Chain A
Amino acid sequence: MSLDLEAAVNWLADQPGSIALHESLYAYTYIETAHVLGIMLFVGTIAMVDLRLLGLAFTRSTVSQMSGRILPWTVAGFVLMIGTGLALFYAIPVRSFHSLWFRLKLLLMGAAAINIFIFHWRVERDRDRWDRDPTPPAGARISAALSLALWAGVVVTGRMIAYNWFDCDKPQPPFIHIVAGCPAQLIEP
């Protein structure tokens, strides 16, 4: 059995909840506003922890204090982002699924997740040795710089989903149609 995502997003688009959210006057905008506010909490706090790891801010605090006291807020922000993000996808499943920006965003989120796992299981293992250092070792700084760049990319590609430059129903070079996985019925004749 193959996983037919095309059928899945079309099925999702036919659900009463998806249609209601899509056609709602205010619900969609409230959710999107919460999604944007979530950036301040999620990306904002993660950026502060990254700046500490780079030795650029809050150098009087140990790295473990920063992680222990600030990262729980980042996790709360992440839950808010995922919850509202899923609802936004649920409201517009087919177009989002075929959005070049959305696909790029998911790739960047995947890369950011890998970066977190490497930091957690490799880079951070000898943290006790550099916990108090104003400037942590190169490995930690590289992780932090990657984190900042990847999450910034997630924010920017996320914002770009709203623009329709690369939509399937607009004239596109074949390359775009392939990358966005445009089905025949969406492509402009």
Chain B
Amino acid sequence: MSLYPWFEALEATPVGDGIKESVWLFPVIESVHLLALAMLGGAILMLDLRLLGLGLTSQKTSTVERAARPWLIGALLTMIVTGALLGTSEALKLYDKQAFWVKMAALALALVYTFAVQIPLASRDPRLLAKPLAVVSLGLWLTVAIAGRWIGFS
């Protein structure tokens, strides 16, 4: 089974077509995507730095995690919506790019890891596990960001 027909259909939708036809829409949506990336980076770093014993060490990890969470989720939702809009406008181009598939795989891993592993464990104020939890998170999100930038180059 190939996903190709789905990508073909996606690009033919009025949304994909509209973004492609417009001079301004793609750059504007891309800018929002980039601003949300900054917010995502900040929110993730607050938690990862605390887990590494850096950053807001006067607070418990669980406190930092709870404070960062709404901004993390808000940034992620913004990134996913703007990213989907950008992707729809050039779905067929993405289908052939390795960087896109690397990014999607890393994103899926990062999302599962963050919400099913890291946040549940961080909210229990781990000791031994703290540093590995942060290192894996940084590695996964960096892969997503680098592969994302690479879509534009490849």
Nearest opposing residue in chain B for A157, CB measure: B31
* Contact flags A22-47 to B (C-beta < 8 A → 1, else 0): 00000001001100110111011111
Assembled-state Cα–Cα distance A48/B34 (Å): 16
Partner of B31, one of A57, A73, A159, A165: A159
Stretch at the interface among B13-21, B63-71, B116-124, B129-137: B63-71
Partner of A58, one of B31, B54, B56: B56
Partner of B67, one of A36, A45, A57, A163: A57
Given A58-B56, A159-B34, do A37 and B145 touch, yes or no (CB 8 Å)?
yes
Nearest opposing residue in chain A for B31, CB measure: A156
Interface residues of A in 48-70 (CB under 8 A from B): 48, 51, 57-62, 65-66, 69-70
The interface size of chain B toward A, counting residues with CB under 8 Å, comes to 35
Indicate if A20 sits at the interface (CB-CB under 8 A). Answer: no
Assembled-state Cα–Cα distance A46/B56 (Å): 14
Q: Which residues of B contact A60 (CB under 8 A)?
A: 59, 63, 67
Q: Which residues of B contact A47 (CB under 8 A)?
A: 38-39, 42
Given A39-B37, A39-B38, A51-B71, do A29 and B153 touch, yes or no (CB 8 Å)?
yes
Inter-subunit contact A70/B38 (CB<8 Å): no
Inter-subunit contact A43/B31 (CB<8 Å): no
Assembled-state Cα–Cα distance A160/B23 (Å): 12
Partner of B40, one of A40, A45, A58: A40
Indicate if A145 sits at the interface (CB-CB under 8 A). Answer: no
Inter-subunit contact A61/B27 (CB<8 Å): no
Indicate if A116 sits at the interface (CB-CB under 8 A). Answer: no
Indicate if A9 sits at the interface (CB-CB under 8 A). Answer: no
Inter-subunit contact A48/B146 (CB<8 Å): no
**How many A-B contacts if CB must be within 8 Å?**
103
The interface size of chain A toward B, counting residues with CB under 8 Å, comes to 33
Inter-subunit contact A40/B37 (CB<8 Å): yes
Q: Which residues of A contact B64 (CB under 8 A)?
A: 58
Stretch at the interface among B1-9, B43-51, B90-98, B103-111: B43-51
Chain A to chain B contacts (Cβ below 8 Å), 16 pairs: A39-B41, A40-B42, A40-B44, A40-B145, A47-B42, A48-B42, A48-B46, A48-B68, A48-B71, A51-B71, A57-B67, A58-B46, A58-B59, A60-B63, A65-B59, A73-B55
Q: Which residues of A contact B (CB under 8 A)?
A: 29, 32-33, 36-37, 39-41, 43-48, 51, 57-62, 65-66, 69-70, 73, 152, 155-156, 159-160, 163, 165
Q: Which residues of B contact A (CB under 8 A)?
A: 23, 27, 30-31, 34-35, 37-46, 49, 54-59, 63-64, 67-68, 70-71, 142, 145-146, 149-150, 153
